[in-house]
Chain A
């Protein structure tokens, strides 16, 4: 059917768009869905809409816009282009091309295309999208929308009485999220603003609980599973606050916010704050508790404590970290960065909410300033983060009319930018730089493409000598005959390079020295002779 309704070109063209806007992880998950055979009823509507039903946690309905993939939709909670869209794409693509090849290609380093959707939380507005499969399990009356924040927290406490021991006995993150999502279910039918504030507190509570759990039961060790849980909670928090509408707050809201502020100011008294908690603290102050008086009060309180000689060094460090946020709010970005960058433990993720916030506010200069200071972190971040930040960075450069500089500036983001930067250098025929890059990163010779070498050989052959010679050295050091044979092959190329450069004497002295250096390697000498390369 699809075969008749669509063309191969359409499939390929859609694929190119997909590669630009979908993350490799999402595509991988989409491929799993597709290969599990959960994509049904694939059909073409209005010539450009590819529709299907995908069986996930529930059945979701996908509409893939082949003309503009960004416009595609799915009924799942994920707010961006999701795995169900990817699965639908694979279903269609497999009719024309090999989807495995496409998947392989998508896992190669590539750039992500900027779109405003990148800055949107990964789930849609409304806490029903955060409850997972836990809905409607609630009997009325246990807690209602009118309860105060303090009551919420008391309820949380009693609700999670058995959670820590369950987390200890079973998979901690599953237990945690089961409890969390269940809890959110209570507020699904509440007024949206109330519900979302409730969700914020539920998130904070669980983050607290997780922190406590790690501290007491795991000797402060954040396993990958647990730190991922924390990240997920923070991501939810960030999303909730993104959708927070600060206009027309009623009295109850004000009261709840006030309580929230009280609660949060207590945090700085904690003996130990994890990075996650600090992030939560920041998110709340940045997005929710913006009232100038509150901000000033908290900031001054921190100043006092920092100045207090009785403060212990560990506390001082915490206060400074917290204070930095207020510096940013004050426009004193450099001072804030001074404090944060001094702490080498902070990952790029720590800065991401702020970066996104700058981008949303189109503060492009500010964004660039920050990325400039964070170059090293960006370069060493994981590929997903790297791609995400550089996609926005590119947009920032573009907005400021500095698109031309992007190529050369990629150097600052090494090693993360290696593939992009190398491609840029090569494309612009900065061959010496390109080779320098390969040599600096000790890229194995076999991984360097023949057409790269050929192009350089045609334009500037002597540049290849260091590459070839170091490969010869490496091959000889392997100390086995197949490697020697390879070395001989390469040596013949070296010879022809030297002769092309009219440097036969140089070649001879090289060969003589090489042969002398390895005169004990009988097999190598034999291969030299066999290759007629003996001196």
Chain B
């Protein structure tokens, strides 16, 4: 129990007016601030029992008002002995005096304080031994009360509106002002004058540089009664008051004083003191001064001012800088070259509806024209504004001149009109002028067409095209062709299977038909689909001369140039685009097309930069993945298509990628989409306008139990991993997890895969997946149909092929990364060709997911079997779409094999829940797994025993 129940209290007023309360206990030790708060304010509800009092290391800091109520009625504990020191007791006394003063309202504004620059107050009748600090305390208390949002605060605000003189302090107060007058001006003392003096600024209806200042007396009782007076002191001394009420004539002194105040505020009203004449005709310069500064000073000095009604409007108008594109630009259509094209502008400063050029502005400034009437509207021109304009122009001229890219950027990023109006309400003065672009007619049209694809003229199907194009395909080709005319890069991102290939082929035909042939176009695509392209080109546009630049026998150096001489299209792979950069960069290509453009998604790879550096008249990207949601990938592709359009990568990351990934900022997402929309065409199969008649696709999951052998191996693998993980470094841990993951997945397929058996015994009986596969294929064969089997593991593919052939399903094709291109083409064409002999034409086509997942066209199969699972359903779907695409005539049946109780089932659950399908997972890498904790790993990997096969 504490015996420190005696507190010796000290108080001191600090220089800023706050009070420091400190205390020592019975042992003369300082009491900590926290403790002091709970000792002194234990029952003080206001401060939440001392919780929210300001404090420093020495003690509590009370505002003047808090201190007042504390000293008068301390919310003390009754079981603590408080011993006030002398200073404390003195504060208590002063507090009492102030309290009495406030209660009896015997205080008044302290003119001296107001003159010194702050609103102070003093005691009406000052008690004799009042300490110096008391006045300051009183003032601070009242200030605190008026600053408060309470009733007093509101009343004070109201008072300030009624008596603007209250806000005038320090040097702004006229040195000639007497206290009595001042008290009247702030409404403290009643002003018994029956009128107030008013000034009104009138514009001359005729001239543009002519204003009249009207002096009037306003009847306080009837504010609508205004009496004009002659602002000459001599005048009324001579008794010239015909129109003024007789009773007012006694107050001529007051009129004199008010007039003197006016001259004091606006010395230029009386240029010649001797004459004593006040001038009432003003030019623009003086009118502007009156409107901007003098009027406020007059009001504060107690003179009423009537301003023209439009002034407020003018004051609030926000100037903008407007770039008007000169009329000829863009008018000649195709001559208009690319996104980096410099634009020719005429700059104007826009003030409301009024626009003035830089030269005009400079001229007006020179004439000291700050207030200007243009087309019946007054506008305000300040040197500041001119500087801002020059500043802005400097930034947008010469080296920094605006290009088509900037114009598009400004135009597309600008907010819709109504939001613009909203922003104008912002009362912070903007340091930078808002930039606005006014498009000329051709550009206007171009932009409309870019934003609304259906406004692009639809071209007819080229004569040379063999086959029939669907409508949307024609639209796509026309769109590519339209963008080509403006040299704007295009990204065709149609859904898988909508025929991006034929659209590009059609585009090539348009180019051949409509332009003088100069150099060939270049197509860069993944190796696995080169053959496919070749086949499609032969089939749909045999008139195009195609050169495949691929393989060990490809031509180099000069031979390359002669090889491609006269060709329409050169096809090469991504790998070669980098290896053979030297050859490829010697040509200025008619067009460059990237198939599966996501291959350059990593902007920093040599491949990507090699591709970006190639020169071409037009750039096209084809991709089937929805790139608009993958921002950095998007940037890479767009930087290839329209270099610089989205700015530098780091700028783009800072501006969009990070905030969007962090906050999912909707407006930023919308902004990005507005920016890319003109250059991106994406249709999906479900679009009603597509009218695709693809057959249905139905999916089925095949859940298969593990065999006892698989189960035992599975357990061992996991235990082995956790055992070895204990001693593993971080890097080793990662490696260990990834190997184990692979082992587990392979195990689910077939135990022989991890046992390294070259020729496994009893292959079928050891994996129910394999058993099930054989049953399925038997069914399919019975129906005379064909199937694709995807697996991630080469060995599995080999085993499948071996087993299937042995079981009499041969021939069986197996396409993987190491399959030679000729072999691929051979296999695909044999599989796809219905005229092929049954003996040569496989029923089953095994593909490795990685090599066979994209680009191939295998519509002859209408069954797709995924022998093992992949994290990303999109990758599986892409693979499925080898069969489910244009050309497919039957319903497609998809089977997904899942081993029960294993990691595969866990993967499936995660995909189903769509949970934690973060970017990384979707990206297809497995590295995220390595970052899991041991417990999470166990949860993910562990074998759920209820699904173990117990048949053996």
Contact = CB atoms under 8 A, between A and B. Distances in A.
Interface of A: 380, 411, 414-415, 418, 433, 436-437, 439-443, 465-466, 469-470, 472-473, 477, 510, 513-514, 517
Contact of B34 (A415, A437, A473): A473
A511 to B, nearest CB: 10
Contacts of B38: 439, 442, 470, 473
Contact of B50 (A380, A470, A517): A470
B51 A436 contact: no
A466 B44 CA distance: 8
Interface stretch (B72-80, B113-121, B255-263, B773-781): B72-80
B310 interface: no
A510 B2 CA distance: 29
Contacts of A437: 79
Contacts of A465: 45, 49
Nearest to B42: A439
B1 A418 contact: yes
A510 B80 CA distance: 27
B77 A469 contact: no
8 contacts: A418-B1, A439-B77, A441-B2, A443-B1, A465-B45, A470-B42, A513-B51, A517-B51
Contacts of A440: 5, 39, 42, 77-80
Contacts of B79: 411, 414, 436-437, 440-441
A285 to B, nearest CB: 34
Contact of A473 (B2, B39, B43, B51): B51
B686 interface: no
B272 interface: no
Q: Which 3 A-B pairs have the closest CB atoms?
A: A440-B79, A466-B49, A440-B77
A513 B78 contact: no
A411 B81 CA distance: 12
A354 B697 CA distance: 110
Contacts of B43: 436, 466
Contacts of B716: none
Interface in B278-334: none
B42 A414 contact: no
A487 to B, nearest CB: 12
Interface string B20-55: 000000000000001100110011010011111000
Contact of A442 (B2, B45, B52): B2
Given A441-B5, A510-B48, 4 more contacts: A415-B1, A418-B1, A439-B77, A441-B2
A364 to B, nearest CB: 28
Contacts, number: 61
Contacts of B34: 473, 477
B238 interface: no
Contact of A469 (B5, B49, B78, B80): B49
A443 B5 CA distance: 12
Interface in B42-90: 42-43, 45, 48-52, 77-80
Nearest to B78: A436
Given A433-B78, A436-B77, A470-B49, A441 B42 contact: no
B375 to A, nearest CB: 53
A442 B35 contact: yes
B52 A469 contact: no
Contacts of B2: 415, 441-442
Most buried by B among A437, A470, A472, A513: A470
B552 interface: no
Contacts of B431: none
B75 to A, nearest CB: 9
Contact of A513 (B5, B45, B48, B80): B48
A418 B42 CA distance: 19
A513 B51 CA distance: 9
Contacts of B39: 440
A466 B1 contact: no
B3 interface: yes
A414 B5 CA distance: 9
A203 B51 CA distance: 60
Contacts of A433: 78
Contacts of B51: 469-470, 472-473, 510, 513-514, 517
Contacts of A418: 1
A418 B5 CA distance: 12
Contacts of B49: 465-466, 469-470
A66 B216 CA distance: 110
Nearest to A465: B49
A380 B26 CA distance: 13
Nearest to A494: B48
Contacts of B3: 380, 415
A517 B48 CA distance: 13
A165 to B, nearest CB: 40
A17 B2 CA distance: 31
Contacts of B42: 436, 439-440, 466, 470
Contacts of A442: 2, 35, 38
B148 to A, nearest CB: 15
B1 A469 contact: no
Contacts of A443: 1
Contacts of B50: 470
A384 to B, nearest CB: 16
A504 B45 CA distance: 15
Interface hub of A414, A433, A439, A514 (most chain B Cβ within 10 A): A439
A20 B42 CA distance: 36
A443 B77 CA distance: 14
B687 to A, nearest CB: 43
B922 to A, nearest CB: 29
A2 to B, nearest CB: 39
A433 B38 CA distance: 16
The interface centre, meaning the residue of B2, B39, B48 with most chain A CB atoms within 10 A of its CB, is B48
A470 B45 CA distance: 12
A411 B5 CA distance: 13
Nearest to B38: A470
Nearest to B79: A440
B332 to A, nearest CB: 62
A517 B77 contact: no
A414 B6 CA distance: 12
A507 B49 CA distance: 13
B572 to A, nearest CB: 55
A465 B1 CA distance: 22
Given A433-B78, A440-B5, A440-B80, A469 B35 contact: no
A517 B34 CA distance: 13
B906 to A, nearest CB: 29
Contacts of B48: 469, 510, 513
Contacts of A414: 5, 79
B710 to A, nearest CB: 44
Contacts of A517: 51-52
Contacts of B80: 440
Contacts of A380: 3
A514 B51 CA distance: 8
A472 B49 CA distance: 11
A415 B2 CA distance: 8
B52 A415 contact: no
A465 B49 CA distance: 8
Interface string B354-396: 0000000000000000000000000000000000000000000
A213 to B, nearest CB: 32
A490 to B, nearest CB: 13
A534 B388 CA distance: 45
B35 A513 contact: no
B45 to A, nearest CB: 8
B269 to A, nearest CB: 53
B82 to A, nearest CB: 11
